[in-house]
Structure 1
Amino acid sequence: MDDPPDPPDASGVGDRPDSWCSRRTVLSAGLAAAGLRAPVVGSVEQGEPRATVHVTCYAGPTPLYARLRDGPSGLGSPWTSAHEAGMAAVADGLDQIESHARETGRDWFSVAVDRGPSLGSPLAAASPIDAAAPVERVYDGFREAIGAGLDERRCHLLCWWGPFDHRIGYGRTVPGDGRVGRGDRPAALAIANVGATEGWDGRAVTRNVAIHEALHAFLSPAVVETVIDGLCDHGLGTVREPDPGVREVSPMATTYAGGGAGERGPAGLLADGLMGSNGGGTRWAGRGCVAPDAVREEGEKAGAGPTESDVTWRHSTRLTVETREAVCRYAERTLR
């Protein structure tokens, strides 16, 4: 009788070639190459704290003309195709982060996206006059509408329709309620101005801004600094040049690809916007933090293309590994 076969290799790799390695190993090596410290790999023990990055999306007051963009069927709801695109983009972004968490051994991490009730008057009409009202009214009305939801650790994302609302711009977090688990209340409030992105730039910018504003609620300077050389979360984004003359902007770099508003002041910003000379792929520039080298260009061909006037700008919902890693670290520090 022949001798019994040798038992399987205790390492579990059996007859796999020496060059074989897991996706987790590949990603850990990639994190190291990017200058990021790889997290400790492990699984969730029973009773171990978990963390959920949860975003609830709401449609604010949506004027009839905005609903009619979707045809007669749009009259029945303030939730237009623009709102739907924003929410779908947020779900896509969180799915990317959840995949990153799984691949880096964070089995305690999960995500959730859902739709909340519509907020505001169903017969609202946006006009330039709206911009004259104190922006605090919007914030206070948002807080009042959320009510008890402010006691839940999640981001409440209001999809606003204000194409002329310079106070909110393309979007922002609400002062005092900008980060989940870090303010006076567990919840965070953020606004994505889909009326502005749709009116001035288009659907691709709408998607990226929705992701951008939702993720602000799960990022902090202290966490960002552990991932990149800087405190500004916009520095987690990138501008790539995948082909000559094409520049692709990731969500956290959207509206900052041209360097942000900087010191241009209201008159300069207005002139740049009306003339379309922001230079970053959007009509209007972001007014938040930005470091001189925060929004990096990546790729072999980055920065090697034609002059600014000949560039074609694109916006991609694909998050950078730095963005995904930073959200995971925030969840580990704050939400567990």
Structure 2
Amino acid sequence: MVTGSDRGAPADSHSAVSDAVTLHVRCYPETGGLQTLTGWPSAHREAVTGVSDAMRTLASEIETRTSFDRVYWRVEPMTPVDLSTGPGLEDGTDHTDTEDVDPVTAMTDRFYRHLEHRETLTGTGCHLLLAWRPFDSNLGYGTTPSAYRRVGRRAGDAVTVANIGATEMWDTRAVTVNIAIHEVLHTFLSPAAARTVVGVGCDHSLGTVRELEDGVREVSPMATAYAGAGTEGTDNDTRFSGTGCGHHADFYRHDGVEGVHTWEHTTKMSEGTLEAASQYVEDTFGE
């Protein structure tokens, strides 16, 4: 598993030098099905490796496309999180499971409280929960809650969740890896940056669906779960379709769904994703 930067990332997420920045992601497995296991199962290891590869590429691209002299990256595997215990639960002060609180909001709020309790918030980092909830229809494949949606010196810490329990049960390992990358990328994008690239504020539309040959489509991370979504009579690239925005006509590239019999997934980010993320990071971390 790749655990850090090959570019010598400084200790802080934003370096002391104004012309350098670090893309910092911390990854936390959720306990539950993992409680009796030692070490990280392969699904979690491959998800983190995929995120690491994506951050390495993104850092290199941002350095090329922006005014930063150096762009570093850091992806850290962290100790597991058990959301059934922890801050507020022992003394009964946690009220996130009340009827007027959405269950997904409750889960992400509790995760954030765990991060506060652990003192792992950095002010400029992304915190990825690798959830193991294969039957959680409310969570679906994951979420990036609006309360903690974007990372940056002016935005603060971001929290995001990839439900790899669902992708492992209902889909494939390639989908698991792409969903982990997908949810992390949400925190390095914004509607404004997406709009400058694809004309709409939906960051799913930064993804690509490419025709490799007749009947075969290749799906990039931001398009994963949306490649065939909303198209009547066509299977999606995942067992369940994403429920967010993503009109196919707005995609950076979408080669259609007619006659598709095979969906493949690539961890390679689209040119649109790289450009929009570069704009967001420069606007957010730049002086």
TM bucket by the smaller chain? 0.7 to 0.9
Per the alignment, residue 126 of structure 1 pairs with none
Alignment of 1:118-267 (within 5 A): 118-120=80-82, 134-147=103-116, 148-181=119-152, 186-259=156-229
- Deviation of 1:247 after TM superposition, in Å, equals 0.5
The two structures have a TM-score, normalised by structure 2, of: 0.80
TM-score, structure 1 length as denominator? 0.69
Q: Percent identity?
A: 41
SS of alignment partner, residue 76 of structure 1: coil
Number of aligned positions between the proteins: 254
* CA–CA separation in structure 1 for the residues paired with 2:160 and 2:262: 30
Match of 2:237 in 1: 281
Q: Which has the higher helix share?
A: 1
| 1:170–1:192 contact (8 Å) kept in structure 2 | yes
The match for 1:90 is 51
Distance in 2, Cα, partners of 1:176 & 1:102: 28
Cα pair distance change 1:75/1:48, threshold 3 Å: closer
- Relative distance call for 1:99 and 1:181 in structure 2 (3 A) is closer
Q: Which secondary structure does the structure 2 equivalent of 1:293 belong to?
A: helix
- Is the 2:205–2:248 Cα contact (8 Å) retained in structure 1? no
Q: Is the 8 A contact 1:61 1:122 kept in 2?
A: no
RMSD after superposition: 2.8
Distance 1:50 1:99, change over 3 A: closer
For residue 25 of structure 1, what is the aligned residue in structure 2? none
CA distance in 2, matches of 1:257, 1:170: 14
Tell me if the contact between 1:178 and 1:188 (Cα under 8 Å) persists in the aligned partners: yes
Question: How far 1:102 sits from its partner (Å)?
Answer: 3.8
> Hey, what does 1:330 align to over in structure 2?
280
How far apart are the structure 2 equivalents of 1:47 and 1:146? 27
Structure 2: 5+ residue runs without aligned partners?
1-15, 86-96
**Residue 307 of structure 1 pairs with residue 259 of structure 2:** yes
Counterpart Cα distance in 1 of 2:223 and 2:278: 19
| DSSP-derived class of the 1:176 partner | helix
- Structure 1 unaligned residues grouped into runs of 5+: 1-45, 68-73, 124-129, 263-271
Greater CA radius of gyration, 1 or 2? 1
